Amino acid sequence: MNELQIKQAYQVAKERYAAIGINTDNALERLQNIKISVHCWQGDDVRGFLTPDGELTGGIMSTGNYPGTAKTPDQLRQDLEKAYSLIPGRHKLNLHAIYLDTDEKVDLNQIEPKHFEKWVAWAKEQGVGLDFNPTFFSHPMMKDGLTLSHPDKEVRDYWIEHGKRSRKIAAYMGRELNQVCYNNFWVPDGYKDNPIDRLTPRKRLMESLDEIFSEQLDEACTQDTVESKLFGIGAEAYTVGSHEFYMGYGLTRDKMILLDAGHFHPTEVISNKLSSLALFGKGLMLHVSRPVRWDSDHVVIMDDELQDIAKELVRNDLLDKTVIGLDFFDATINRIAAWVIGSRNTQKALLKALLEPTADLKAMENHFDFTGRLAYTEELKDFPYADVWNYFCLQNKVPVGLDWLDDVRQYEKEVLSKRN
Ligand code: RNT
Ligand code: ZN
């Protein structure tokens, strides 16, 4: 489509939506203000730069060996710049502690803000915000599949120190970039087989976290979020930090609760949880992801759950209270394409939700006009949201439709294929 065609299609779509009381310009303005926290770890399959080979040695796993993975912070930044150039709007980058950028040999219990200075400088230059995560996996101090809940105090203390330092780094990032750096705690601890004692490890995790969070930090710079999980590879029977654990923890410690779309029973959805948590918690962060059988790591597609998440955020006016992060790491496809597809889909789902006549639909529901509600929601599925989306891409000077794929293929040829 050329520019004129995109504009013409937009005008037609605008009228269609206006007929049901929707102002598409307003919807686009709202979409423009939604920042996605793009996860760095899709760029190198969660390897990071702590060790030269960045091996995954426990707690997390990725599969696939598509060529061109970023091996250095500079390469990762270059790839991210490419991805951001194909995603409309200004966003954030979500970094993990193992993505430090320094020549110094430091371990996770020694990291300091200075080891992330280059990321901060880059973020300033690019106009992106930063979020952060301590890394409780792929490390020899993860013993017996456990970190903060390990029975050995020496093991716990190592990780407590890491957690404390990660908070200082997050505060530094938020201060430097003048926006809150959300610092997410996800701890893989669990057992492969049925435990006898499910309580004591949870008590230890609770106490370790309490110690990590004992220092009050400036909330204008950083806020902590806690992420639960149901099970993982090697922790099939029991995960210490379950959903109930972190609901309780977050609510009693005034921490934001992070919901990862892939961390629940296969038929359980996070979209149905947002409204409940919104009533009680401090706020929400999401890991928008796609569960397939064993974890949450497939690229986000335009499935029902993605659309339901977006609808819940818009219908319940939760956009300001919710940090939208992504979490997937598919190593079988071009990693920049993965970022672009997942991010754009998340934005598209939000746009679709913003193009809904929410007040009218709520009124129908309140008058028990379930017939109208069903007729409208079904008809809306056929509305020309893609013409609005294309116009949004045009406005933001990013490729429209599939055009971004040519860019990615070109980049693969010129840059990625030359890496070894
Ligand atoms: C793992 C969690 C967690 C990680 C990142 C890398 O199951 O979803 O969020 O994916 O910390
Ligand atoms: Zn996650």
* Cα(41) to centroid(ligand 1), Å: 9
Annotated catalytic residue, options 176, 260, 312, 387: 260
Ligand 1 atom showing the smallest separation from residue 135 Cα: 11
- Ligand 1 pocket residue status of 229, Cβ below 6 Å: yes
In the chain, the percentage of residues whose pLDDT exceeds 70 is 100
Helix (H) or strand (E) holding 82: helix 73-84
Q: Would the pLDDT of 55 be above 90?
A: no
Residues facing residue 132 across a β-bridge: 95, 183
Q: Which amino acid is at 373?
A: R
Query: Would residue 297 show up in a list of annotated catalytic residues for this protein?
Result: yes
What pLDDT was estimated at residue 59?
A: 86
Which of 136, 287, 326 best tests ligand 1's pocket when mutated (most atoms within 8 Å of CB)? 287
Catalytic residue among 186, 339, 389, 404: 186
Q: Once rounded to an integer, what is the mean pLDDT over residues 177-188?
A: 98
Ligand 2 centroid from CA 39, angstroms: 10
Report, as an integer, the average pLDDT of 206-223. Answer: 98
Ligand 1, atom 11: nearest CA belongs to which residue? 186
The closest-lying atom of ligand 1 relative to the alpha carbon of residue 46 is 6
Q: For CA atoms 152, 141, 42, 36, give the dihedral sign.
A: positive
Q: What is the pLDDT of residue 295?
A: 73
Predicted confidence (pLDDT) per residue in 235-251, tens digit: 999 999 999 999 999 99
Q: Domains of the chain, with CATH numbers?
A: 35-355 (3.20.20.150)
Residue among 46, 260, 294, 298 whose CB has most ligand 1 atoms within 8 A, to mutate: 260
pLDDT (mean) for 143-165: 98
Instruction: State residue 294's pLDDT score.
Output: 76
Instruction: Assess whether 227 carries a catalytic annotation.
Output: yes
| Whether this model's pTM surpasses 0.85 | yes
Q: Which of 150, 183, 188, 214 is nearest to 59 (CA)?
A: 188
Burial 67-82 (b: 16+ CB within 10 A, else e): ebbbbebebbbbbbeb
Distance 185 CA to ligand 2 centre (A): 10
DSSP state of 300: P
Q: Is 287 a catalytic residue?
A: yes
pLDDT for the residue 58: 84
Starting from the CA of residue 133, give the closest ligand. 1
Active-site residue flag, 229: yes
- Whose alpha carbon is nearest atom 1 of ligand 1? 60
What is the rounded average pLDDT of the residues 212-231? Answer: 98
Q: What is the pLDDT of residue 325?
A: 98
Average pLDDT, rounded, for the chain: 97
- pLDDT of 54 reads 80
Q: What is the mean pLDDT of residues 331-347?
A: 98
* 119 carries an active-site annotation: no
C-alpha 233 – ligand 2 centre gap (Å): 14
Q: What is the pLDDT of residue 170?
A: 99
Closest CA to 233 of 190, 286, 267, 282: 190
The string of DSSP letters for 88-142 reads SS--EEEEEGGG---SS---TTT--GGGGHHHHHHHHHHT-EEEEE---SSSTT-
Distance CA 292, CA 306 (A): 14
Q: Is the CB of 97 under 6 A from ligand 1?
A: no
Cβ(47) – ligand 1 distance below 6 Å: no
Give residue 296's pLDDT band: very low, low, confident or very high (50, 70, 90). low
pLDDT of residue 150: 98
Checking if the pLDDT of 375 tops 90, the result is yes
Residue 41 CA, closest ligand 1 atom number: 6
92 contact partners, CB below 8 Å, separation of at least 6: 35, 36, 37, 38, 128, 129, 130, 131
Nearest CA to ligand 1 atom 2: 186
Return the percentage of the chain with pLDDT > 90, whole number: 95
**Which of the ligands is closest to the CA of residue 328?**
1
In angstroms, what is the span from residue 141 Cα to ligand 1's centroid? 18
CB of residue 46 inside a 6 A radius of ligand 1? yes
Which ligand has the minimum distance to the alpha carbon of residue 186?
1
| Tens of pLDDT, residues 322-334 | 999 999 999 999 9
Going from the C-alpha of 231 to that of each of 110, 243, 376, the distances in angstroms are 30, 11, 39
Distance from residue 7's CA to the centre of ligand 1 (Å): 40
